[in-house]
């Protein structure tokens, strides 16, 4: 018997976890636009526009600015597996869960991994990373920008100098920061960077913007290769070791995004529409204005949480501007009852954490479309009410009042 | 200066190439449904429903039936790179471009590739493949079901017996056939199969349904591994060689789709909504009814093309039911002017081909939502008009009349 289930009808949610978050209505609408063929001139023009839009989002002049058709993780893997060949040394400074991910991806493709570590909740002084680069002289320095697992943002500025000095390529994972904090690809000298849509770009997870410097492009082109079945007679690929993935081979993706339009996958039409619209919304507001909005919302949220007597997690100096870690008060055990009631009774999702922070901190996201005063106030007042029912009494109205005060101080 | 470009506004198209094709309106609408968090009980329930729906679409009892978050090609690579370890022998019978792709993917992960080949436009007798399996005793027999590059469908039934005999796993790429022709996973004894949405499922490209037999699951689990940063203290992974991709590691994807919900990527929310709705539409019509509709439309189209004096490509016995190859008449050169005028003047996309068939045949798709009588008639009458302007005069109204006749013969 055929079982078809019901029409999609999700409950209304306010997504204030570490992502995915609520999607801009314009982006939701873009995804319901009808298909075009992948080689339709109108569609390839949209691909070119996406390249131009993400150059602006990434603040770069890089020609090769394109989408990898998968979630943010696919963009990370496309960059790293295209750059790192078996035996290449990669330095991964780890300050949270996603540093482990970068190490793992590079290890799987045969990279020789060197790491430095710091306590979760802290980041590295730039000098410490520079010393490690000089010591290991890696082919690639692979760096998470904002690690949502710890809510910390690693300063990237200043790393390119030492990378140039020893001939290292600088890769940055900006999944969680792009659109929410400054990400200055050219000014910071980043060679390869990937992101997702589902955080501060306020789109759906499912496609990953990537941009590559000339140096990164050259490195990838030493491994370039055209697929059997579409290669010209007598074709010989580049001499470097073949990239272990076909799907995530950035050399092939560049051919597909070039005027050659050499067929690879079939570009994910609806996700490209979404990515295009995300960029148009974010650039329409203005990157700087967006960053200010995120910083202000975080200030308000943090002031509110502290006024409620809660303790924030991690070094203040390098907190991300779009997600806040807060210790779960003792009265609330591992915090899961509070999270469940926030969701079921107030329609608000907040996050737990990973590894040794699971059950110790909640993570409250203020990303993209979500990151507006009414949502900050709604989150604080709801949390106040739920905590009260779970044995933790904050001073009456203190959280909301403190947040109001921050917004009023900013004239809002 | 910020450049934002215009609002999305693609021209109306009828997509009768080899895919992507027009998406069901219900599926377009599903993609504009708001987000849920990835661990929201409502969302994990939708994931479970997707598993149940695709078991029906694939006609299988396999527990492990899930989505890989990328286009069809990502599902192929997830299956093959999870099954094929360095040094494993893989047999790939190649009858078109996509056989080359399977070989290439397996080669990149270190597989030892054995191939048999047949002319484009033909398929293999089952016995020929069986002999090759007995000769090479591969770990995996990797088989394209319908290869759109040649418009041929390889019979799969009967291959499982020899695979069981020598302990080979049978992988099938059903990207182009699922929903348009019978794909009987359990009855045909398929161990791993992947598909896409952008052909006869009439969804957008961007997520890939996959199902795995117990034997395939066991093989993958010998390489199972939990990622650093979320693994329990003292954890030791399985002893088999690690899968070279993290993103496409089906062992990890199974953990994410299991009640453990072990975090991997962030499931592509909107694409999951789309996949769910594609299955509901296709199952709602009934798989058999859908296959009949595709076969009838192909019959009508082919009768029409032949009545216009055009010659069909490939062996009649094993043509796919959802795409037709037709020789470009001499008068029309490489056929690109005709294709361009079909698109610009009639809003209809038809396909060219790859490799040595490029410029020799057009490929006309009759897939999913497109596959209905009005579109078949519209395509034939438009093609008639365009050919006439390009030096080829078909007998007046012959194409449309012949197609009408087929539909009338079927009582439609």
Domain presence at residue B15 = no
Burial class (CB in 10 A: 0-12, 13-18, 19+), A344: exposed
Q: Look at residue A228 and tell me whether its pLDDT is greater than 90.
A: no
Kindly indicate the confidence band of residue A373, based on its pLDDT and cuts at 50, 70 and 90.
Answer: very high
Domain presence at residue A228 = yes
| Summary mean pLDDT of chain A | 97
Q: Residues A172, A174, A179, A182: is their CA dihedral positive or negative?
A: negative
Domain presence at residue B10 = no
Instruction: Please say which residue of B220, B251, B283 terminates a domain.
Output: B283
Clarify whether residues B265 and B341 are in a common domain. no
Clarify whether residues A323 and A264 are in a common domain. no
A5: left (phi over 0), alpha (psi -120 to 50) or beta: left
Backbone angles phi, psi at B248, to 5 degrees: -105, 20
What are the start-end ranges of the H helices in B173-240? Answer: 214-221
Residue B187 vs residues B8, B96, B183, B303: alpha-carbon distances, Å: 45, 25, 9, 32
Q: Look at residue A229 and tell me whether its pLDDT is greater than 90.
A: no
| A406, A300 contact by CB (below 8 A) | yes
Cβ-Cβ contacts under 8 Å, A73 against chain B: 246-247, 264-266
Domain presence at residue A10 = no
Clarify whether residues A169 and A147 are in a common domain. yes
Clarify whether residues B198 and B246 are in a common domain. yes
Domain presence at residue B271 = yes
| B355, A229 contact by CB (below 8 A) | yes
| A156, A145 contact by CB (below 8 A) | yes
Which residues of chain B, if any, have pLDDT below 70? Answer: none
Using the CB atoms, write b or e for B133-154: b if 16+ within 10 Å. beebebbbbbbbbbbbbbbbbb
Q: Which residue has the tokens 């029906």?
A: B56
User: For B292-310, what is the HEC assignment?
Assistant: HHHHHHHHHHHHHHHHCCC
Instruction: Please say which residue of A245, A263, A283 terminates a domain.
Output: A283
Clarify whether residues A66 and A134 are in a common domain. yes
Q: What is the CATH number of the domain that holds B298?
A: 3.90.1150.10
Domain presence at residue B11 = no
Q: Look at residue A201 and tell me whether its pLDDT is greater than 90.
A: yes
In chain A, whose CA is at the least distance from the CA of B46? A8
Clarify whether residues A19 and A120 are in a common domain. yes
Q: What is the pLDDT of residues A103-160, one digit of tens each?
A: 999 999 999 999 999 999 999 999 999 999 999 999 999 999 999 999 999 999 999 9
Instruction: Please say which residue of A241, A262, A283 terminates a domain.
Output: A283
| A25, B4 contact by CB (below 8 A) | no
CA B284, CA B278: separation in Å to the nearest integer? Answer: 10
**Does residue B20 have a cis bond before it (omega within 30 degrees)?**
yes
List of residues 6+ apart from A400 with CB closer than 8 A:
A304, A377, A380, A381, A384
Domain presence at residue B13 = no
CB atoms within 10 A of CB B110: 15
CA A392, CA B262: separation in Å to the nearest integer? Answer: 30
Clarify whether residues B278 and B294 are in a common domain. no
Domain presence at residue B16 = no
Cβ-Cβ contacts under 8 Å, B98 against chain A: 229
Token pair, residue A42, equals: 């109108």
Clarify whether residues A156 and A205 are in a common domain. yes
Q: Look at residue A266 and tell me whether its pLDDT is greater than 90.
A: yes
Q: How many CA atoms, within 13 angstroms, populate the side-chain half-sphere of residue A290?
A: 27
Q: Is B247 within 8 Å of A243 when comparing Cβ atoms?
A: no
Whole-prediction pTM value?
0.98
The total number of structural domains that make up chain B: 2
Please report how the helices B250-257 and B72-83 are oriented relative to each other, as an axis angle in degrees rounded to 10: 110
Q: What is the mean pLDDT of residues A97-105?
A: 97
Cβ-Cβ contacts under 8 Å, A207 against chain B: 206
Q: Which value does ipTM take for this structure?
A: 0.98
Token pair, residue B380, equals: 């034939």
Clarify whether residues A223 and A85 are in a common domain. yes
Q: What is the pLDDT of residue A1?
A: 83
Clarify whether residues A268 and A356 are in a common domain. no
CA A215, CA A83: separation in Å to the nearest integer? Answer: 11
Burial class (CB in 10 A: 0-12, 13-18, 19+), A358: middle
Q: Which residue has the tokens 């045949």?
A: B361
Using CB atoms, pick whichever of A15, A264, A355 lies closest to residue B35.
Answer: A15
Q: Is B245 within 8 Å of A149 when comparing Cβ atoms?
A: no
Kindly indicate the confidence band of residue A355, based on its pLDDT and cuts at 50, 70 and 90.
Answer: confident
Q: What is the pLDDT of residue A45?
A: 98
Clarify whether residues B61 and B161 are in a common domain. yes
Q: What is the CATH number of the domain that holds B70?
A: 3.40.640.10
Q: Is A264 within 8 Å of B73 when comparing Cβ atoms?
A: yes
Clarify whether residues A195 and A61 are in a common domain. yes
Q: Which domain holds residue A354?
A: 287-409
């Amino acid at each position: 018997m055929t079982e078809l289930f019901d029409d999609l009808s999700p409950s209304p949610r306010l997504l204030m976890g570490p992502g995915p978050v609520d999607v801009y209505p314009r982006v939701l609408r873009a995804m319901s636009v009808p298909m075009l063929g992948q080689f339709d001139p109108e569609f390839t023009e949209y691909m070119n526009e996406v390249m131009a839009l993400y150059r602006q989002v990434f603040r770069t002049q890089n020609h090769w600015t394109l989408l990898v058709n998968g979630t943010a993780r696919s963009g990370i893997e496309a960059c790293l597996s295209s750059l790192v060949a078996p035996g290449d040394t990669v330095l991964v400074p780890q300050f949270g869960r996603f540093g482990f991910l970068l190490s793992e991806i590079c290890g799987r493709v045969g990279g020789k991994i060197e790491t430095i570590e710091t306590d979760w909740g802290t980041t590295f002084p730039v000098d410490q990373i520079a010393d490690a680069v000089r010591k290991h002289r890696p082919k690639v320095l692979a760096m998470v920008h904002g690690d949502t697992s710890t809510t910390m943002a690693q300063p990237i500025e200043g790393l390119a100098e030492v990378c140039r000095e020893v001939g290292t390529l600088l890769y940055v994972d900006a999944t969680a920061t792009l659109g929410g904090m400054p990400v200055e690809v050219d000014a910071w000298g980043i060679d390869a960077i990937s992101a997702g849509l589902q955080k501060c770009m306020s789109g759906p997870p499912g496609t990953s913007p990537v941009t590559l410097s000339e140096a990164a492009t050259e490195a990838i082109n030493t491994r370039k290769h055209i697929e059997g079945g579409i290669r010209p007679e007598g074709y010989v690929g580049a001499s470097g070791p073949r990239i272990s993935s076909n799907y995530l081979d950035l050399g092939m993706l560049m051919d597909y995004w070039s005027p050659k339009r050499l067929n690879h996958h079939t570009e994910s039409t609806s996700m490209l529409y979404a990515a295009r619209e995300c960029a148009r919304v974010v650039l329409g507001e203005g990157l700087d204005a967006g960053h200010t909005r995120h910083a202000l919302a975080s200030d308000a949220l943090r002031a509110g949480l502290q006024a409620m007597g809660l303790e924030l997690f991690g070094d203040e100096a390098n907190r991300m501007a779009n997600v806040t870690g807060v210790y779960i008060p003792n009265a609330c055990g591992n915090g899961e009852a509070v999270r469940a009631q926030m969701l079921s009774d107030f329609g608000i999702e907040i996050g737990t954490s990973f590894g040794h922070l699971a059950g110790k901190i909640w993570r409250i996201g203020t990303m993209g479309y979500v990151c507006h005063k009414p949502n900050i106030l709604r989150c604080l007042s709801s949390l106040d009410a739920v905590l009260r029912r779970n044995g933790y009494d904050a001073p009456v109205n203190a959280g909301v009042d403190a947040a109001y005060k921050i917004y009023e101080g900013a004239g809002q």
